[in-house]
Structure 1
């Protein structure tokens, strides 16, 4: 029995998440869905952006799908991003972002890479304070333990992909203690796992340039939290943008699938939201957490078939419904 904690969140999350679940039920008819709440609207109604009941539901299910979250444009006392809290409190210490060329929507063919980023530390540790009037300090946290967890996942993914290159991305020339610790910890473990022949490294600014110039040179990128967040959004241009960008927040015996796009309040409720990022995030959950690569292949092939057919990803007010129906028809061989 597969159990999935489902957090629709805010905005278009309430549209794309039900669409993705409808598709997943074609592959897992006995799927048990456990609804839960988190997000800005939840905070405004209850005073909690991430209720303890939601955390417990995710722990009980061991797997989840998170839709989207709105964030206030200013600091609000008591509010903190629920997705960041989920990553930290559930020890979802690795974030996996695939970037691949898709028919029709990608501006360049031949791109197929994965960005693995540390998901719980770095500048997202939440350690900020005012040192003096007009001076704010943010603390960057990098630990050997978190780096080693990331490197072990990188070794696992490299084996599955038969990786031709593993690239460590850092800024150790400017941050020799924190980025140096990251680089050395990851490199030592990966060397010990036998990846020395394909292991290289890049400074983050050069990596950004090369992801724009020649993304097909990369295979598996391993980096820190903030750098990975920025680079993966940059690289998803080659997949067709944020509407095609899936991710998986990955821990030990627990994982949370998450489309990368935001809550898009400007189109919420209009039916225009593209559900493919949510659908492809569930493919990552199937492949890497539930160990159902066969079903993940079927789901990704259905998306490939839909796009090859020439179906546009923007159908106006019918986008969500028509893409959902198109993927289901492809799954069922219609």
Structure 2
């Protein structure tokens, strides 16, 4: 899928720069640890451009996973189970293989306390700044339904921040308990046209959806680390919050954005995105990583480009079969 500007939950990644294959089960992959880019050559960390390109990769793959899940649900509604399976299988590859491998190279996941602090920073920005600004702008532009949704999500993100703060105190002091996650109010996303009119609102919905997709993906990584390190309650908090980000926040935004269309249109959109990644985006990233001496990252980008070419071909075949 195509890549877009992202919310500040990616600040933790950007700060590091200072400057259809079968899906693999998520927990079968090594959970990345650290908080600094993982060295792939003795004594040398990733170069800044490679870090930026891997960060872009995480953003795009998280969004692809989310969107393909919505496209799969629409294919099911249209009585196209084979297409639905193709979208779901591809979605899992994007999340459990491509995004996880990029995260491993970056060393995205730190200790439980560091992960909580990173999430607190992101949720605070969304609660206090981003979603409030989006709501104000939507009201100014007459998109009152979007303004209401943005305001509701801002409040949710404040509650997420508070839960993470409580969890951080429990993790760092050994006293108190990690709170249970809020229950997600799952939103169905049928096909339809946008329900907003202003270009600014549409752009803000796009930014928000990309951010919610990345939050979901990162929180699932953090959950795996929490579970592996003997903190099941913290893992449940991460997983429940991730569910809200994906199935409530992103889904509600997708309805307003008119993200899902007919399965033919969804396949065409997917084909365009996958071909761009296969022929332009990831080959370019591979060249840059090679020039920087980041050989492991270059190999990852080349392998991912090949995967995306297969995804594009599979989507094209499915579209051709629909006639």
Q: Do they superpose with TM above 0.5?
A: no
Structure that is richer in helix per residue: 2
TM-score calculated relative to the size of structure 1: 0.27
Higher strand share: 1
TM-score normalized with structure 2 length: 0.27
